[in-house]
Structures are given as structure tokens and as C-alpha cells.
């Protein structure tokens, strides 16, 4: 079973009350990234996250997903460069 490293997100991208959280996970086959999309809302007991989105959220979620994809590509490139440097 994969587990999040250090239990802290690598990156959190936000737009209004929507967010894309990038996690680095470890598994027997090596580390990998995952993305969690959510919408934050306020209740009388504080703030909560939901995984459901309304119609007006969809384009923002699509944009956040594209930004998360770009950030993941950047993270992978940096990690590959670091590993290549270490191997030299």
C-alpha cells in the first residue's frame, strides 16, 4: 500500500475555494505523485473539504488540473536531474 511521505503535501495550488494538492507517495516499486482535488467550504464548526463540485467549479478544476500536471512534470524533471547528478 502506498503511503504519503512525511505526511505533508509537496505543493498546494489554489484558486478561490478550490485546491489541487500534490502528494509524494512511496511504494515497493518506487516513489510516485498523486493529486487530490477538493473544494473548501465553511460550516459553523470550521472549514471542511468536499470532493464534489458544482457547475461553476468545473472550468476552474480543469485549470487547476492542468497546473498540477505542469508542476508534476517539473518535479519529475528536477528529481531525474538530481538522480543523474548523484550518479556521476
The predicted-structure confidence for 47-87, as pLDDT tens digits, reads as follows 999 999 999 999 999 999 999 999 999 999 988 888 778 88
Q: How confident is the model at residue 4 (pLDDT cuts 50, 70, 90)?
A: low
Q: How confident is the model at residue 5 (pLDDT cuts 50, 70, 90)?
A: low
- The residue among 1, 71, 69 whose CA lies nearest residue 29 is 1
Length of the chain: 88
Considering the chain, what is the average pLDDT of its residues? 90
DSSP state of 5: S
Amino acid at each position: 500500500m502506498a503511503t504519503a511521505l512525511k505526511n505533508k503535501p509537496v505543493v498546494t495550488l489554489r484558486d478561490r475555494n478550490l485546491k489541487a494538492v500534490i502528494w509524494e507517495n512511496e511504494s515497493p516499486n518506487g516513489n510516485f505523485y498523486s493529486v487530490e482535488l477538493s473544494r473548501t467550504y465553511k460550516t459553523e464548526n470550521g472549514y471542511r473539504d468536499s470532493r464534489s463540485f458544482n457547475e461553476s467549479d468545473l472550468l476552474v478544476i480543469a485549470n487547476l488540473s492542468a497546473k498540477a500536471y505542469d508542476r508534476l512534470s517539473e518535479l519529475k524533471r528536477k528529481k531525474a536531474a538530481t538522480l543523474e547528478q548523484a550518479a556521476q
